[in-house]
Structure 1
Amino acid sequence: MSIRLGCIADDFTGATDLANNLVRAGMRVVQLIDVPPAGTAGDVATDADAVVIALKSRTVPAAEAVDASLRALAWLRSAGAEQIYFKYCSTFDSTPAGNIGPVTEALMDALGTDFTIATPAFPDNGRTVFKGHLFVGDVLLAESGMRNHPLTPMTDSNLVSVLGAQTTRPVGLIDHTVVADGAEAIRSRIAELRANGVATAIVDAVSNDDLVRMGAAVQGLPLVTAGSGLAIGLPANWGFRPSPAAAQLPPSAGHRAIVSGSVSEATNGQVLEFLKSGRPAFSVDPLRIAAGEDVAGQALAFAEAHLPDGPVLVYSTETSDTVRTVQGRLGAAEAGELVERTLARVAQGLVERGVRRLVVAGGETSGAVVQALGLTGLRIGPQIDPGVPWCAAALPAGDTLHITLKSGNFGGPGFFTDAFALLDAEAAA
């Protein structure tokens, strides 16, 4: 059996975000952590309709991102994938050097295709594209909190120009008037753009209906590129329909904990809401780590005392002003790596202490935690909030870990407690 859809995600939370939407549309989905060894595709394909390979390539040098993405593509093609989906963030996180443009062009070359689409739209999470401009909620991308992102500050809302700065081929637009007319109109516009030498088209989408029309229109394209929203419209091309069975996970048990390294405004709000509730929380200070203190050990000692009454939060989330201060003293890369390594060690220690229900917030943090825990694959389960599902993973010792990898930008203020409430409700059902 071959998989229908092969997906390459540029970070770990984005991978689960994409997989979540595919599961909601009825596909059985396995998420793999990095590119598996050659010769393993057949084992996975028997248990999945779609496979998402999670890379940690969003902010690495463009050449490294291209290499990792091409290796993922080769594995997915060996599994028989009929269409390839390159997934990036719904806020189009990138710089003029990449990595969205270089990876897209490399995948196009490898697949021998001269055209693809690009849209980060995900209306359920407030990400819409209109006239080629990306909105985050009610404001343009460049006016949102993403303008202060420490690694990929987004200061231009016009996706045609953003992507054009990263690519060597022309970028065009399929605007909302075309999308509103349906799949056939979109296909006609694609043919027109291709005839004019356009290689990639930004596509407007302001509703889920737009994504459904877009999904039908790109049936048969070797490559699509998007945020997770387009996944709403693709499974129907193979006859899939929403089914609760696609999201079933084993029962959950064990201690509960949260590890948060995101600096996004959404996660800041979630941490604040958790702190207001009076639940146990430990703040990780990068400056203390840099000074040589065993901050991970301190965090684990704190957590161990509170896990029986959990959930326990270990966090390094700060305001953008605080982040800039720390980066000014340590450097952006050094500060980020210190926090990632520390939180990864904390996550390992939490699992060793019996945590079997774990929330991880932040894309880079999620990547570091998953790698530190030695997880190789995730079965995608029920949605907590748009774009964020619970997953089940086999630990090296044989136990099952329920884990959610949350993009920093996603989730409501009460996400941390809502996540565990959903598992409790599933167990009681």
Structure 2
Amino acid sequence: MRREPAPNIVLGAIADDFTGATDLANNLVRSGMRTLQVIGVPSAALSLENVDAVVVALKSRSCPAADAIRDSLAALDWLQAQGARQVFFKYCSTFDSTDDGNIGPVADALLDQLGSKQTVMVPAFPINGRTVYQGHLFVGDRLLNDSGMQHHPLNPMRDADLVRVLAGQTSHQVGLLNRATLAKGAPAASAHLSDLQQAGGRHVICDTLDESDLEVIAAAVVEMPLVTGGSGLGQALPAEYRKKGWLSPVENAGRLAPASGAALVLSGSCSRATLGQVEHFLGRHEGLALDPLALAESDAPIEEALNFARARLSGAADGPVLIYASAAPQAVEAAQASLGAARAGELVERALATIAQTLVAEGVGRLLVAGGETSGAVVSALGVGELRIGEQIDPGVPWTQTQVAGREAPLSLALKSGNFGGVDFFTRAFEVLNEQSAAREEGA
């Protein structure tokens, strides 16, 4: 049963990783929703005054399906208790998952809990080159399985046909809302969804080529108890909420305090985009690579990385400095062959989380983390409970701020999905943050 909504909470979102959560929160803020991101299901009461949307960030993308279902249902219970009008299950715009899930199983469990018969699957984010046509997902001009995602270290994606991919994760019928129907407008899309539901279609993959398609989909699904997808749909929904009278106009939804402290980049992602960003950064600043095989032998590489950073971050104006485990597919495969995929990933995550925790305690106040799993490990190590969402760096990636133990000023934190951002992202992110901070100080 759906509960009566609290006055301010319009959207409650459940994200399957931390960078995906900030990706969605970024688009909500840009569309005028005051948004709070929480790390895991809150165990204590939160003040939600002047908050329109809450995004619960989980680490459930690559864990066993049973664990993902358990954590997602706990998040749903909490969001329902806050009176969220609509629930959004957020996953990556590349739909990455295993043959067993977790997108299908989690969506099924959420639908069952909500007592709802249908939801849509809208992974597309056209501004970032993620589009869907005839149910096939493209990254730029390449099919998903030829985009580099076929080499993903945890969830390799070797099939671009999302209807077929999702059908392997659920016992329920998967349908398609195609571009030809979307071109006829929201009433036609709504009618098609209704027809699919009558025929047993529980999950509906939605074609999406541009922003106008997202607007049509948002208008057609605004009354659905559950929607799912990437952050592109989150960009389009707020306008529909305003039409319903659920949301009032807000100025400066992403206003944060000025940033301070040394600047550090930690990268665990091995995506093509991140590898390009690492290469670009190293042409202009200093960085140090971490080797999973060396980490398996001892913690000496962690201490080496800490000393490397300390020598270059002696003052708040110094940096940014990069510490990275990002590597080409061949190197990743070699490490996984020696250590096992799970062990190799755990070693890198633990190392980068330890480095983050140590250096933030020593004065780093501006921290950029690349990679969903890495971001989850870093945020957990820092004990972050909630994030205030600020202004965008690149599509899908905002600066955020949070309080961490032992630091009086807020920590400015950017969590970047591996596939997001331009080639100059690691350098330009800090230029954007400095410009935002200067503008805040002038306007104070």
Q: Which TM-score bucket, shorter chain as reference?
A: over 0.9
Q: How far is the alpha carbon of 1:44 from its aligned partner?
A: 3.5
1:275 partnered with 2:278: no
Is residue 193 of structure 2 the alignment partner of residue 190 of structure 1? yes
In the alignment, structure 1 residue 173 sits paired with structure 2 residue 192: no
Aligned partner of 1:205 in structure 2 is: 208
CA distance, structure 1, for counterparts of residue 252 and residue 102 of structure 2:
36
Q: Percent identity?
A: 54
Q: Is residue 377 from structure 1 mapped to residue 386 from structure 2 by the alignment?
A: yes
Which structure 1 residue ranges, 4+ long, deviate > 6 Å from structure 2?
Answer: none
CA distance in 2 between partners of 1:57 and 1:416 (Å): 26
TM-score of the aligned structures, taking structure 2 as reference length: 0.94
* Cα offsets for 1:123-182 (capped at 9, x unmatched): 011000001000000010011100111111101100000001000100000000111111
Inter-partner Cα distance in structure 2 for 1:303 and 1:379: 27
Q: What does the per-residue CA deviation read over 1:342-391, in whole Å, with 9 as the maximum and x for residues that have no partner?
A: 00000011101201000000000000000000000000000000000000
Number of residue equivalences? 425
Tell me the C-alpha RMSD between the 2 structures: 1.1
Q: Identify the residue that residue 409 of structure 1 maps to in structure 2.
A: 419
Q: 1:242: Cα distance to partner?
A: 7.6
Partner of 2:432: 422
Residue 255 (structure 2) aligns with: 248
Matched ranges for 1:223-238 at <5 A = 223-238=226-241
1:257 and 2:260 are equivalent in the alignment: no
Partner Cα distance (1:229, 1:313) in 2: 30
Q: Which of 339, 344, 356 is the aligned partner of 2:365?
A: 356
Give the secondary-structure state (helix, strand or coil) at the position aligned to 1:245: coil
Per-residue CA shift, 1:268-307, capped at 9, x if unaligned?
0000001111x12111111111111422111111101101
Amino acid at match of 1:405: L
Provide the secondary structure at the position in 2 that maps to 1:45.
coil
Q: CA deviation at 1:241?
A: 7.8
For residue 62 of structure 2, what is the amino acid of its counterpart?
A: T
Residue type of the partner of 1:7?
A
1:18 aligns with 2:29: no
Q: Is residue 72 of structure 2 the alignment partner of residue 69 of structure 1?
A: yes
Displacement of 1:403 in angstroms is 0.3
Structure-1 residue corresponding to 2:291: 285
C-alpha distance 242-202 of structure 1, shift in aligned 2 (>3 A):
farther
Question: 1:230 & 1:243 partners in 2: Cα distance?
Answer: 20
What does residue 31 of structure 1 align with?
A: 37
Give 2:42's aligned amino acid.
P
Q: Which amino acid aligns with 1:414?
A: D
The separation in 1 between residues aligned to 2:369 and 2:248, in whole angstroms, is 30
Q: SS of the counterpart of 1:252?
A: coil
Mapped to 2, the partners of 1:244 and 1:154 lie a distance apart of 40
Contact 1:132 1:203 in 2 (8 A): yes
Q: CA offset at residue 423 of structure 1?
A: 1.0
Report if aligned partners of 2:354, 2:381 keep a CA contact under 8 Å in 1. Answer: yes
Q: CA deviation at 1:244?
A: 5.2
Greater mean deviation of Cα atoms: 43-52 or 116-125: 43-52
Matched, 1:303 2:313: no
Question: Which region of structure 1 is more displaced relative to structure 2, 284-293 or 20-29?
Answer: 284-293
User: Partner of 1:53: helix, strand, or coil?
Assistant: strand
CA offset at residue 75 of structure 1?
A: 0.3
* C-alpha distance in structure 2 between counterparts of 1:293 and 1:363, whole Å: 23
